[in-house]
Amino acid sequence: MKKPNLDTVTTINQDGSKYNIHPADVKGSFTLRRRLTAWVLILIYILLPWIKINGYPAVFLDLDKRQFHFMGLTLFTQDFWVLFFIISGLAFTLFVLSSIVGRVWCGWFCPYTVFLEHLYRRIERFVDGDAPKRRRLDEAPMNKTKFIKRAIKWSFYVLVSFILAHVFLSYFISIPGVWSNITDGPAEHITEFLFILAFTGIFTFCFGWFREQFCIILCPYGRFQSALTDDQTVTVFYDYNRGEPRGKMTKDADKKLGDCIDCRRCVNVCPTGIDIRNGLQLECVACSACVDACNEIMTKVNRPKGLVRYDSSAGISTGKRKILRPRLFLYMIFTAIGLGVLGAVFVSKAKPFHAGITRVMGTTYTANEQGVRNQYQIKLTNKRNQDITYTYKLINSPGFELSAGTNTITLGPLQKDTVTFTVFSPVDQYKGSADIFIEVTSEDGTQSELTARFLGPAATLYKDSLNEKQETTNPE
C-alpha cells in the first residue's frame, strides 16, 4: 500500500497515472451516524419529486414553463432575482460553517461524498470483497474471475447511475414526465434521452473511476477552505502531544513512547489516502473514519480514546478552544445581512401574483366631444396553486375614470391572462397627458400598484378645436 506524504497527492503516481485507493472498513459511532445521515439524504433526494405540495412536486424546476416550485411556493422568471440573495446567504452560511468546523460539509453532507461512499463503494465492497482483496484484485492480471467481477461491478455502477440520472431528470420534468418518456420511447423525447445518457455516463465515470480525485483536484471548496479556517477551526486532528513519539508496542518499560502504536489503521481507512498524523491537509474531508479507526485501536490497547479527534489546532497545542472569534463574527454579520435582506425583499416583492401594464398596440388615444380615451392591457400571472379573483381600479388619478364594464378577472392555478380596459378623461376635466395609477388587488388583499402614461392632445388646443367646431356647427 502506498505511503502518503506531504509532497505528493496519494491518488497520483509518479508517472501521472491514477493510484486506486481502497479504504478499509471501519466501525464506530461516527461511522454509524454518518451512514444514517447519508441514507436520509439519499432518501430525500429520491422522494422529493414524489412529494406533492399544492399540486406540484416539493422541488420542481419546470424549464418548459419557466417556473420554480419549492415547498409549495411558486416562483416565476421575474422572481429569479431572489436567487442572488439565496446564493449569497448560502455562500456566507458556508463561510460560517467552514470557519467553525472546516470541511465537515464535504465528509458528511456533500452529495458527491454521499453517493460515492455509501452507494458505489458499498457495491464495490459487495462484489470485490474487503480492502485487501480489492487491492490484490487490482494487482492481478486479467483472468476469468477478474473479468466477471469487473463486469458485474460496472454493470451495477451503470444501473445505479441510470437510476440516479432519472431521479435527477424528474426534478426538471416531474415523475409523470419521466414515466411518459419511458413509455413513449427515446425517439419521442430525444433531448431527455440524451440528458439521461450524458448524466449516466458522468455519474459512472465520476463515482466508478474518478472518485476522490474530484474532491482533491476539481472541487474548489477544498481550495478556499484554507482562507476560511484558522487555529480555532474544529476539524479532524491527530494529538501529537499524546501520540509522539510513535512506535510499536513493546515490553521495554524504559522506552518512552506516545500512545500512537504506528499501526497505520488511520491511513488504511482514509477515503482520500492521507495520513492524518501529518497534520491538517487539503485532501482531508473531515469524514471521521480515522477517528473511529483510532478509537477502536486505543480500546484494544487499553489507552484513552481521542488520539485522533475533532478538535482545533489551538485545542491540540494548548488544550483551549475558542469558538467565538472576530473572523466568525464578521462572517455571521454578512450572513445575517444577506438573509435579512432576502427576507425583507422577499416579503415586499415576491407577491402571489404578477401584474404588468402596457398600451394596446397600434393605438395612442381617441378624442371627441365627450373627452379623451386611452386603451391599456394588464397582464396578470397567478403564482398560486388555486383560483384567485383580482380587481383593478384607478387610484390617485383625479380627472380620469375607468370605462363602463367589469373590473374583475379570475385566474386558475398558475394561469396567465390579459385584460383590456379603457381609461376616459371627460372634456371638462381633461388637462393633457399625465401619469395614471392603477391598483390591482387579489382576493387575499395583496396589492400591486401600476403606473401608465395617459396620452392626449394639448389641453388648450384640444378645447379650442372643440369650441371652433361648435361655433361652425351652430353659427350665430
Domains and CATH numbers, the chain: 1-350 (no CATH), 353-473 (2.60.40.10)
73, pLDDT greater than 90: no
37, pLDDT greater than 80: yes
Query: Can you tell me the distance from the alpha carbon of 31 to that of 432, in angstroms, rounded to the nearest whole number?
Result: 77
Most confident of 11-25, 87-101, 240-254: 11-25
pLDDT confidence band for 346 (50 / 70 / 90): low
Query: Can you tell me the distance from the alpha carbon of 160 to that of 213, in angstroms, rounded to the nearest whole number?
Result: 20
Contacts of 65 (CB under 8 A, 6+ apart): 414
Specify the pLDDT at position 255: 67
For residues 278 and 10, the answer to whether their CB atoms sit within 8 Å is: no
For residues 346-367, average pLDDT? 79
Query: Can you tell me the distance from the alpha carbon of 304 to that of 290, in angstroms, rounded to the nearest whole number?
Result: 15
Q: In this structure, are strands 401-402 and 59-62 parallel, antiparallel, or unpaired?
A: unpaired
Average pLDDT, the chain: 87
Query: Can you tell me the distance from the alpha carbon of 293 to that of 271, in angstroms, rounded to the nearest whole number?
Result: 13
Specify the pLDDT at position 347: 63
Phi-psi region of 185 (alpha: psi -120 to 50; beta: other; left: phi over 0): left
> What cell does 415 get?
394561469
Specify the pLDDT at position 126: 96
348, pLDDT greater than 70: no
For residues 103-117, average pLDDT? 93
Higher pLDDT, 148 or 226: 148
12, pLDDT greater than 90: no
Query: Can you tell me the distance from the alpha carbon of 233 to that of 331, in angstroms, rounded to the nearest whole number?
Result: 14
Specify the pLDDT at position 397: 83
Could you give phi then psi for residue 79, rounded to 5 degrees?
-100, 0
- Three-state DSSP at 311 gives strand
For residues 281-298, average pLDDT? 94
Specify the pLDDT at position 475: 58
pLDDT confidence band for 251 (50 / 70 / 90): low
Nearest to 89, CA basis, from 333, 348, 283: 333
Burial bucket for residue 82 (CB in 10 Å: 0-12, 13-18, 19+): middle
Where would I find the beta strands (DSSP E) of 133-240?
235-238
For residues 317-342, average pLDDT? 79
Specify the pLDDT at position 238: 96
For residues 424-443, average pLDDT? 88
> What cell does 269 get?
481507512
Q: Which residue has the cell 402571489?
A: 352
DSSP string covering 45-57: HHHTTT-EETTEE
Nearest to 212, CA basis, from 199, 222, 226, 197: 222
Specify the pLDDT at position 280: 86
What pTM, to 2 d.p., does this model score?
A: 0.80
Q: What percentage of residues in the chain have a pLDDT greater than 90?
A: 43
Query: Can you tell me the distance from the alpha carbon of 332 to that of 321, in angstroms, rounded to the nearest whole number?
Result: 19
CA 430 to chain centre: 55
89, pLDDT greater than 80: no
Specify the pLDDT at position 163: 96
> What cell does 220 get?
474548489
Specify the pLDDT at position 460: 83
136-188 pLDDT, tens digit each: 999 999 999 999 999 999 999 999 999 999 999 999 999 999 999 998 988 88
For residue 273, give the amino acid letter: G
Specify the pLDDT at position 404: 60
Specify the pLDDT at position 141: 93
267, pLDDT greater than 90: yes
Specify the pLDDT at position 34: 96
Most confident of 277-291, 316-330, 374-388: 277-291
Specify the pLDDT at position 335: 78
For residues 262-275, average pLDDT? 94
